[in-house]
């Protein structure tokens, strides 16, 4: 093993999806954008489709291509970015469902692909994507005549259950869509956890399916092992890595492992995170560099072949807290050099 090995437990991922699905009385789709949050959209989408998931969500048309190749022609693939200029041919050939975000996109879609499936995305206060109230009021009658497949919006603060923005957005969404007679969707993982009034006709779990917060009951999905490529003995007072940011306070054994910020391991965890050898933690020492990380293994009784950075004792959210970020960034930053191994435990 010359590079890190990223193990993806598809059984855990499918179990997380089933648990989130069981919390609702409506249909449950799956968000597989950003290469399925860094894990491999082809394998992940195929596994979900094999279990019966019928609706998938991606960010861009380009992402939709790989998912379509994996799930076959019958599944619905919704594109959050909508119908962008230059996407018309791919939307048609791949039979994608753009979630139209503006009057301009609505016009483009109806003129370029009359009769082709589409959805509508509304802005209920997040001020990111979607039609605002005045825009929607101006075109709603025209849009509804063309029979959209789905109307959706997105919650800004769903990971904070008591945040007043949740109820505010729920109220706006209802006012904009009650009585439309079209399937509606408001909730990703956080919204599912808020309760049934947020579920409507379809939910779209993402991070919880991949083992992250705010779904605290999620099973870990990823395990990241980095190979030890060299071990050296240091005397008290010697330093390690760029900037001499760590100095040995005792005679020490330092393992250099293959991995770095080129592989999505954040530089901000330098001198702060731990690796694991089985159930034993060992500290990361010195700076995370592009390709290499140094670890103090002085207290281990054996020289390990590899050390684990993501494992049941250190989840993506544990590592995110150390690095001052969120589990989403840890997952989606996972680099292309890893050997990806999919298991069904």
The pairing of beta strand 222-234 with beta strand 252-258: antiparallel
Residue for token pair 């694991």: 276
Tell me if 233 sits within 8 A of 253, measured CB to CB. Answer: yes
**Residue (of 310, 307, 318, 311) closest to 334 by Cα position:** 310
Which residue in 168, 198, 210, 242 is the catalytic one? 242
Tell me if 153 sits within 8 A of 130, measured CB to CB. Answer: yes
Find all residues with CB under 8 Å of 114, minimum gap 6, and list them: none
Taking phi first (over 0 means left), then psi (-120 to 50 degrees means alpha), and beta for anything else, what does residue 91 get? alpha
219 annotated active-site? no
Distance CA 229, CA 155 (A): 45
Provide the token pair at 324. 């001052």
338 annotated active-site? no
Residue for token pair 């048609």: 92
Which residue in 33, 55, 75, 274 is the catalytic one? 33
Integer-rounded Cα radius of gyration of the chain: 23
> Alpha carbon of 119 to those of 10, 116, 188, 264, 323: distances in Å?
30, 10, 17, 34, 37
Which residues are part of the catalytic machinery? 33, 242
């Amino acid at each position: 093993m010359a590079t890190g090995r990223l193990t993806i437990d598809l059984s855990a991922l499918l179990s997380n999806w089933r648990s989130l699905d069981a919390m609702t009385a409506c249909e449950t789709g799956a968000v597989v954008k950003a290469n399925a949050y860094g894990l491999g959209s082809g394998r992940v989408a195929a596994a979900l489709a094999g279990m019966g998931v019928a609706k998938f969500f991606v960010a861009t048309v380009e992402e939709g291509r790989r998912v379509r190749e994996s799930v076959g022609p019958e599944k619905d693939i919704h594109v959050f970015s909508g119908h962008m200029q230059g996407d018309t041919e791919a939307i048609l050939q791949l039979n994608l469902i753009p979630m139209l975000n503006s009057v301009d996109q609505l016009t483009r879609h109806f003129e370029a692909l009359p009769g082709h499936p589409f959805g509508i995305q509304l802005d209920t206060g997040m001020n990111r994507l979607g039609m605002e109230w005045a825009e929607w009021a101006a075109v709603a009658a025209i849009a509804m005549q063309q029979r959209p497949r789905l109307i959706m919006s997105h919650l800004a603060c769903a990971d904070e259950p008591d945040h007043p923005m949740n109820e505010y957005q729920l109220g706006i969404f209802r006012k904009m869509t009650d009585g439309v007679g079209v399937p509606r969707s408001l909730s990703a993982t956080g919204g599912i956890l808020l309760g049934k009034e947020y579920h409507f006709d379809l939910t779209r779990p993402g991070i919880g399916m991949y083992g992250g917060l705010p779904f605290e009951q999620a099973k870990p999905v990823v395990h990241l092992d980095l190979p030890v490529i060299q071990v050296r003995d240091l005397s008290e007072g010697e330093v390690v890595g760029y900037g001499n940011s760590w100095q040995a306070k005792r005679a020490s054994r330092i393992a250099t492992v293959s991995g770095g910020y080129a592989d999505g391991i954040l530089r901000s965890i330098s001198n702060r995170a731990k690796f694991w050898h089985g159930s034993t933690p060992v500290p990361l020492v010195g700076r995370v560099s592009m390709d290499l990380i140094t670890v103090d293994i002085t207290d281990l009784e054996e020289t390990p072949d590899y050390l684990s950075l993501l494992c049941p004792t250190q989840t993506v959210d544990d590592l995110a807290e150390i690095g001052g970020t969120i589990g989403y960034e840890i997952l989606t930053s996972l680099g292309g050099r890893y050997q990806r191994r999919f298991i069904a435990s």
